[in-house]
């Protein structure tokens, strides 16, 4: 892995700094407008609601929590047991009545997202529980539906190209339309807040946590697409969350497992990391999520940004002028837990200027710590009420006090509709990027290369309901008129499996290899090399990061899809078969493997035929 001060310094910081410094609200589409503030009578109404709350109810509004189960009141036995073990309650309804939480976050692994009708019913049950409280406050219901590499809701919902794929298409209209479709489907299921779009500028190819979740490495392009997505989600009535402030794009450490440090100077941060967040604020993002990262140039104390008053209040609130909702990244991540205990983290986040505390590992401990800090004078009631008002104001803007429910019977009309699926394919067709095409191999023809071998990595779908990609790719090429044989070789093929692939390639017109995050030590390199040595043309399809091509030799043609979900894999198959022309262009540079200071393929590279 590269040190997070190396690649970006040599090849990216100086190249983008001048252009990025000019990015401001003037770069936004003309139609982007901030979310409207509540009118004075409404603001007065919200203050009256707060005045009637107990301290426990006020503090509860500041927490967004996970909960297991497909139902708010009748989850499966295993989910009841998990809730009792981790939270001390049996159901979502009990969680809300006990802790008065202001929001719930949905996860697939928590069994919240089985199918659209079930999700809508769960959302209605959660709102029932919220309105049954003495304070009768509806809930924010959120999830991470970024699309691409991160999606909590799978089929039959529409799965769209993710951020870096949209960056490759360079289409503001497609970015906005993808968000509108995603937002309409979330809204139909009762999910009113999406923790998207990702506003990080990914300038480090070794970044293990952001990567294709970013729109790219050009801050001006990222800023423009962030603004478009905010507009698209808002048009569907969904609250957006620009993340991860102050910018997680230049790390080689995953903040889920450790605390990363970003070594940008203040000037570099201003030029590279700040523009998408400025654009998000100008576009009216409903909320901004903090990152569990250390940026010494912004806060010499080296506290995580989530817990840093100089960053959250000094920069985000005062310097950038953001007065909307600020939410932490998940508080069960190691990045925010390394320096302080779980009882101090929520208190320090609130002191830093954060409004909402996402998914603490121990809710009772976190809640009680905040209550103790208020009763002991470390946090004032006024400070708590300031954040509660921001939470309620967002709920008011979303119309939740008026009607928080969704009609379950109508879900199927919107979620996974034919129009949405058709649009997803159309958008994906503009994202596939052709990086190499020696001798004009592509497009393949059923007349010239009738028989194909499709091999490579089969990776789990982000939502658990798509793929596997080798099978999807083979099926799409079969539908295009080829005779295909599929062989899964995995992300770390052993020599026996490589030999099997070489044997299977005999007599084939071409071999299509699906690669996944190829590193210098990956045996995927040996697989591709062995196949290329047979003389059969090799076409590689990078299923995630577009940097794979730098590690591969002997490749005749190579494409980048930026994700392994069905919609992007099928789009790559259409390019291979010549059903659509490749139009995507790299939104990040690809460095040479043997000399990372030199660029193999620059931003904007993309072949066609």
Biggest CA–CA distance in the chain, Å, is 79
- φ and ψ at residue 147, rounded to 5 degrees: 75, 165
The secondary structure of 404-473, three-state, reads CCCCHHHHHHHCCCHHHHHHHHHHHHCCCEEEEEHHHCCCCCCCCCCEEEEEECCCCCCCCCCCCHHHHH
- Strands (DSSP E) contained in 457-522 are 483-488, 510-515
Nearest in space to 469 (alpha carbons), one of 516, 506, 429, 434: 516
For the chain, state the CA radius of gyration.
Answer: 24
Report the distance separating Cα 256 and Cα 460, nearest Å. 19
Report the distance separating Cα 572 and Cα 561, nearest Å. 7
Q: 531, 454 in Cβ contact below 8 A?
A: no
- Record the tokens describing residue 496, joined without a space: 């026996």
Looking at the DSSP bridge assignments, the partners of residue 484 are 452
- φ and ψ at residue 585, rounded to 5 degrees: -130, 140
Q: 226, 197 in Cβ contact below 8 A?
A: yes
Angle in degrees, CA 127, 133, 136, rounded to 5 = 70
User: What torsion do the CA atoms of 608, 226, 356, 315 make, to the nearest 10 degrees?
Assistant: 120
256 is catalytic: yes
DSSP states of 103-157 = EEE--TTTT--S-HHHHHHHHHHHHHHHHTSTT----EEEE---BTTB-SS-TTS
- Record the tokens describing residue 520, joined without a space: 């210098």
Report the distance separating Cα 14 and Cα 7, nearest Å. 12
Q: What is the DSSP letter of 475?
A: H
Report the distance separating Cα 173 and Cα 168, nearest Å. 13
Catalytic position from the list 128, 254, 256, 342: 256
248 is catalytic: no
Place of tokens 């982007």: 32
Catalytic position from the list 218, 329, 458, 548: 329
Q: Which residues are catalytically annotated?
A: 256, 329
């Amino acid at each position: 892995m590269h040190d997070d001060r190396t690649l970006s310094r040599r090849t990216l910081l100086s190249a983008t700094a001048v252009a990025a410094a000019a990015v401001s609200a003037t770069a936004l589409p003309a139609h982007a407008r901030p979310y409207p503030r509540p009118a004075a009578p409404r603001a007065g109404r919200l203050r009256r609601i707060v005045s009637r709350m107990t301290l426990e109810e006020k503090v509860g509004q500041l927490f967004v929590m996970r909960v297991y189960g497909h139902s708010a009141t009748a989850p499966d036995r295993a989910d009841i047991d998990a809730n009792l073990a981790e939270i001390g309650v049996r159901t979502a309804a009990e969680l809300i009545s006990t802790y008065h939480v202001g929001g719930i976050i949905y996860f697939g692994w928590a069994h919240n997202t089985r199918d659209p009708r079930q999700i809508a019913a769960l959302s209605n049950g959660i709102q029932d529980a919220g309105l049954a409280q003495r304070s009768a406050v509806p809930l924010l219901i959120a999830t991470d539906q970024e699309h691409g590499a991160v999606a909590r809701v799978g089929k039959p919902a529409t799965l769209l190209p993710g951020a870096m794929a949209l960056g490759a298409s360079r289409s503001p209209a497609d970015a906005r339309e993808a968000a509108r479709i995603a937002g309409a489907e979330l809204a139909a299921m009762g999910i009113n807040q999406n923790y998207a779009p990702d506003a990080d500028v990914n300038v480090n190819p070794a970044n293990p946590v952001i990567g294709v979740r970013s729109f790219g490495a050009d801050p001006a392009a990222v800023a423009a697409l962030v603004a478009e997505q905010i507009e698209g989600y808002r048009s569907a009535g969904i609250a957006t969350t620009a993340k991860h402030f102050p910018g997680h794009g230049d790390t080689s450490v995953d903040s889920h497992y450790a605390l990363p440090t970003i070594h940008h100077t203040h000037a570099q941060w201003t030029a590279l990391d700040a523009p998408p967040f400025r654009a998000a604020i100008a576009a009216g993002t409903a909320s901004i999520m903090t990152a569990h990262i250390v940026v010494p140039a912004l806060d010499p104390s080296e506290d995580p940004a989530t817990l840093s008053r100089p960053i959250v209040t000094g920069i985000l609130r005062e310097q950038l002028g953001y007065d909307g909702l600020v939410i932490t990244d998940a508080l069960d991540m190691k990045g925010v837990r390394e320096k302080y205990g779980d009882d101090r983290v929520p208190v320090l986040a609130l002191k830093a200027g954060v409004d909402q505390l996402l998914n603490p590992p121990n809710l009772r401990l976190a809640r009680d710590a905040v209550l103790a800090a208020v009763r002991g004078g470390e946090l004032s009631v006024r400070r708590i009420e300031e954040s509660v008002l921001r939470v309620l104001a967002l709920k008011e803007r979303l119309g939740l006090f008026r009607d928080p429910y969704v009609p379950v019977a109508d879900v199927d009309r919107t979620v996974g509709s034919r129009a949405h699926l058709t649009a997803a394919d159309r958008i994906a067709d503009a994202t596939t990027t052709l990086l190499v095409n020696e001798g004009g191999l592509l497009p393949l023809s059923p007349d010239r290369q009738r028989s194909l071998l499709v091999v490579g990595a089969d990776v789990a779908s982000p939502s658990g309901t798509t793929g596997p990609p080798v099978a999807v790719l083979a099926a799409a090429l079969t539908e295009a008129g080829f005779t295909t044989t599929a062989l899964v070789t995995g992300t770390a093929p052993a020599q026996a499996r490589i030999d099997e692939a070489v044997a299977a390639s005999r007599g084939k017109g071409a071999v299509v290899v699906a690669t996944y995050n190829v590193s210098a030590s990956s045996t995927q390199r040996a697989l591709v090399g062995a196949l290329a040595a047979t003389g059969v043309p090799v076409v590689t399809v990078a299923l995630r990061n577009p940097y794979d091509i730098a590690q591969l030799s002997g490749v005749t043609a190579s494409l980048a899809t930026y994700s392994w979900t069905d919609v992007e894999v099928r789009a790559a198959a259409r390019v291979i078969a010549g059903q659509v022309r490749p139009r995507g262009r790299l939104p990040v540079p690809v460095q040479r493997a043997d000399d990372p200071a030199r660029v193999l393929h620059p931003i904007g590279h993309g072949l066609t035929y």
